[in-house]
Amino acid sequence: MRRIGTLLCLFGFVLGCATASLGTPAFAQDLQDTYRAIESGVEKEYPVLEELYLHLHANPELSFHEKETSAHLAKQLSDIGFRVTSGVGGYGVVAILENGAGPTVMVRADMDALPILEETGLPYASKVVVTDDQGMEVPVMHACGHDIHMTCLIGTARLLYSMRSKWSGTLELILQPAEERSGGSKAMLEDGLYTRFPVPDYALALHVDGLEAGKVGYTSGFAMASIDSVDIKVRGIGGHGASPNSTKDPIVTAAQIILALQTIVSREISPFDPAVITVGSIHGGTKHNIIGKEVDLQLTVRSYTDANRAHLLSSIKRIAANTARAAGIPENLLPIVTVRDEYTPALYNSPELVDRTVKALADFIGEENVIEGGPAMAGEDFARYGRQEQKVPIFMMRIGSFSKERIAESIQRGGAPLRHVHTGFYFP
């Protein structure tokens, strides 16, 4: 659990130095004194934060159901001295601390957990089971590190409140629901995050990573992909499996569509532009000797630029329709392509903010512990905070979450990869 203190120290320092580097002379007068103050602050706050982490880990809540988590953390922020508003975009929380003239720096942490059975065997492992929005009974676990993110945010609040004499400006802390379903940031923005509350000059966030604890990873510019979920309903004319000539088999058509979709990335998108089309689900038919009427496909579509996203989605529709036409499917039974309302834009880390923050981190923890990484095709709805008309510079860093001991154990097992996020075995 000591590693959580390390994460907190890093994030609290990043926020402070981001504020300082943007014109807060009082903070920057004696950085060594500031470093010592942060380190001693972490030591002082650690018992409270460890208790909070254990509570959060053992009591996870699904996306859009973060009622108790939201209330618990809102009270903590209020008790610290922040002006707190709850119920923003559902269970979102906005906490404001005004501390004189200076920039407004926003820090965001996500609150939701995943429908995953925890298999860590930890004494504080989640045993929560709930009924989800589809009426199914599911286990719930913080398998993506959001419990760590929230603990870091509360620790940052406690540290920077206690260090008010060393910085000036406005600190805006955001506890966001439903990151895992890509709707939380959208809901908070639509509920007036940038109109009811100060528009930040800069916005920061973190995410746990497979790095060693005590190290920070970063990517300047495009860091994570845009995400679209696409459904394709392939239709045909059913009949007996012994007489396929009298049918229009949607399973064969679906198979041809799946293969043809792969040519979009390989033949229509530049090799220098990352893009992904993955068919993650295919469902059709009921029995060996029956040719059914429909096949359902589910796709995830990922890219970085708006132009490539539009091209991918347009090509999916074109290929689905024309493959069906080539198979002799009547016009009134062409595939139905639905782009779900679950779009997450690509995450673009502001290079200027990245440079300032990385320099501050390197000064504090050493250049060898600040690691530049490449972009990923995973997604993150933190991106939306930088996509609004205000064009807020944003930066999400990656925080190491594995101890040296666990990494060494992995190597001893022959280099088997550590179990990471979105599995029932993840813990820091």
* Residues labelled as active-site residues: 112, 179
Query: Cα–Cα distances in Å, from 45 out to 34, 42, 75, 197, 241?
Result: 16, 5, 17, 28, 69
Tokens linked to 362: 């390197």
What DSSP element (H or E) covers 156?
Answer: helix 146-162
* Of 226, 323, 231, 319, residue with least CA distance to 280: 231
Tokens linked to 182: 């890509």
Give the count of alpha carbons within 13 A of 133, CB side only. 7
Query: Cα–Cα distances in Å, from 388 out to 186, 195, 392?
Result: 10, 12, 7
Q: What share of the chain is helix, strand, coil (3-state, %, to 5)?
A: 40, 25, 35
Tokens linked to 252: 């064969």
**Parallel, antiparallel, or unpaired: how do β-strands 129-131 and 216-218 relate?**
unpaired
CA dihedral 240, 244, 247, 253 (to 10 degrees): 120
What are the start-end ranges of the E strands in 100-194?
Answer: 104-110, 129-131, 137-139, 169-176
Query: Cα–Cα distances in Å, from 120 out to 123, 127, 209?
Result: 9, 11, 18
